Amino acid sequence: MSHDLSRLGWDDSLASAYRRFDRPDAAPARVLRADRGFCTVLGDAGVLRASLSGSVLLGAAGDPVNLPCAGDWVVTRRWPDRRVTLEVVLPRRTALIRRTSDKDSTGQLLAANMDTIAVVEPIHPEPDDARIERLLALAWESGAKPLLVLSKSDTAADPDAIARQVAELAPGVPVVAVSVRGTPGVERLRSYVEGGRTLALLGRSGAGKSTLVNALAGAAVMPVQAIRDADGKGRHTTAYRNLVPLAGGGAVLDTPGIRGVGLLDTAEGLDRAFADIAELAAHCRFGDCHHGAEPGCAVAAALANGSLAPRRLASWRKLRHEVEIETARRRARQAAAAGHRRRRG
């Protein structure tokens, strides 16, 4: 079965990135799913299984973020014995990376080359403010446009009112309530996959990501967990990331249900996720204002007049602290690596 890659977002700039690797036995493809040592990819010729070449493995030895991931555009090569290898990962336009629990690790790549990244949060029993803020910071950092999806909207009496409330946590981010049972339906998300674009879903286990993928695809392509308990909590089911091409063009990318996500060096993502506070801070009298008891502090003034919620400021401080620790760790790692090179060298 032949597949037109432009329906998945292949364009001129990808074609020109590919050109220097082109040869008669090479072909471009997009990674649908990455497993240890091989990937399932979709190319002009259809779905193939490609093993990772030595150079890809070597490139990943220093940093696992270089391993191919769902959503990556890659160069494949077909060998005379019909084996297919994945030779090159083309430069990523966007990348969703979280910090792993392992403190020496740089990060884990969850998705690549998405145009929009939807933070999916169930509307019931109650959207978790802190989780939304954290995931939005991660989403902003990816370089893709964030979107906040309140899932299972059929379980709330007035989903659009909740959406308006939650919008305060998400400056500059569209908020949409959707349900796979009744209205408003998943068609509200359709515009994010039109024109060959890719929508990635990020959220906790049981948020309803796989159900959304299935509803958008119009078929059961992802396993969905059975309803287990009434409190809305679910079991972990999606163990891998998966890019699902849609019949009308575009694709949706499911990520594994994550329990905790650590922020990496998301200083920029954090500033965008908390654009309301960043904007206030720009008006403080002192450039290095700590928004404590300093005179002329615009953040303190907003707290005093009620336009900034204390909870929101506390949440920002907590995430900033986390990012600062992470930045210090990274610097220490880099210094240690440089010292190691000097001693050897």
Ligand X SMILES: Nc1nc2c(ncn2[C@@H]2O[C@H](COP(=O)(O)OP(=O)(O)OP(=O)(O)O)[C@@H](O)[C@H]2O)c(=O)[nH]1
Binding site members for GTP: 151-154, 203-211
Q: CA 345, CA 339: separation in Å to the nearest integer?
A: 10
Residue 264 is a binding residue for ligand X (CB under 6 A): no
| Options 237, 249, 301, 327; binder of ligand X; rule CB under 6 A | 237
Stretch that binds ligand X, among 28-36, 39-47, 92-100, 219-227 (CB under 6 A): 219-227
Any contact of residue 113 with ligand X (CB under 6 A)? Answer: no
The Cα 219–Cα 121 span in angstroms is 22
DSSP codes joined into one string, 123-186 = -SS---HHHHHHHHHHHHHTTSEEEEEEE-GGGSS-HHHHHHHHGGGSTT--EEE--SSSSS-G
- Which pairing describes strands 116-122 and 145-151: parallel, antiparallel, or unpaired? parallel
Please give the residue ranges that form the binding site for Zn ion (CB under 5 A): 284, 289, 291, 297, 299
Q: Which of 257, 269, 248, 241 lies closest to 72 in space, CA to CA?
A: 241
Binding-site member from 40, 106, 151, 242 for ligand X (CB under 6 A): 151
Q: At what angle do helices 129-141 and 310-344 cross, to 10 degrees?
A: 40
Annotated binding site: 151-154, 203-211, 284, 289, 291, 297
Q: Which amino acid is at 234?
A: G
Nearer to ligand X among residue 230 and residue 293 (C-beta): 230
Q: How close are the terminal C-alpha atoms of the chain, in Å?
A: 53
Contact 275, 312 (CB under 8 A): no
Quick check: 209 binds ligand X (CB under 6 A)?
A: yes
Residue 236 binds which entry of Zn ion, ligand X, none, CB below 5-8 Å type-dependent: ligand X
Q: Contact 232/205 with Cβ under 8 angstroms?
A: no
* d(C-alpha 59, C-alpha 162), whole Å: 46
CB of 298 to Zn ion, least distance (A): 6
Chain position whose Cβ is nearest to ligand X: 257
Q: Which of 106, 142, 179, 315 binds ligand X (CB under 6 A)?
A: 179
* Binds 299: which of ligand X, Zn ion, none (CB < 5-8 Å by kind): Zn ion
The two three-digit tokens of residue 70, written as one number = 């769902």
Stretch that binds ligand X, among 79-87, 223-231, 273-281, 291-299 (CB under 6 A): 223-231
Query: What CA–CA distance (Å, rounded) separates 98 from 135?
Result: 10
Helical spans, DSSP H, in the chain = 12-19, 54-62, 129-141, 159-166, 209-217, 267-273, 275-281, 298-304, 310-344
Q: Per rule CB under 6 A, is residue 94 in the interface with ligand X?
A: no
Residue 210 found at the interface with ligand X (CB under 6 A) = yes
| Residue 35 or 63 having the CB closest to ligand X | 35
269 touches which of ligand X, Zn ion, none (CB within 5 to 8 A by kind)?
none
C-alpha atoms less than 13 angstroms from C-alpha of 250 in its C-beta half-sphere: 19
Q: Which is nearer to ligand X, 107 or 234 (CB)?
A: 234
Report in angstroms how near the CB of residue 150 gets to ligand X at its nearest: 10
- Name the residue nearer to Zn ion (CB basis): 272 or 291: 291
Which residue among 238, 242, 266, 315 contacts ligand X (CB under 6 A)? 238
Q: Is 241 in the site for ligand X (CB under 6 A)?
A: no
Annotated binding site for Zn(2+): 284, 289, 291, 297
**In the complex, least distance from residue 56 CB atom to Zn ion, rounded to whole angstroms:** 48
**Euclidean distance between CA atoms 274 and 226, whole angstroms:** 36
Please choose which of ligand X, Zn ion, none residue 106 contacts, taking the beta carbon within 5 to 8 angstroms, the exact cut-off set by kind: none
* Rg, C-alpha atoms of the chain: 22
Binding segment (CB under 6 A) for ligand X, from list 98-106, 233-241, 285-293, 315-323: 233-241
Residues found near ligand X in the complex (CB under 6 A)? 151-152, 154-155, 179-181, 203, 205-211, 224-225, 227, 234, 236-238, 257
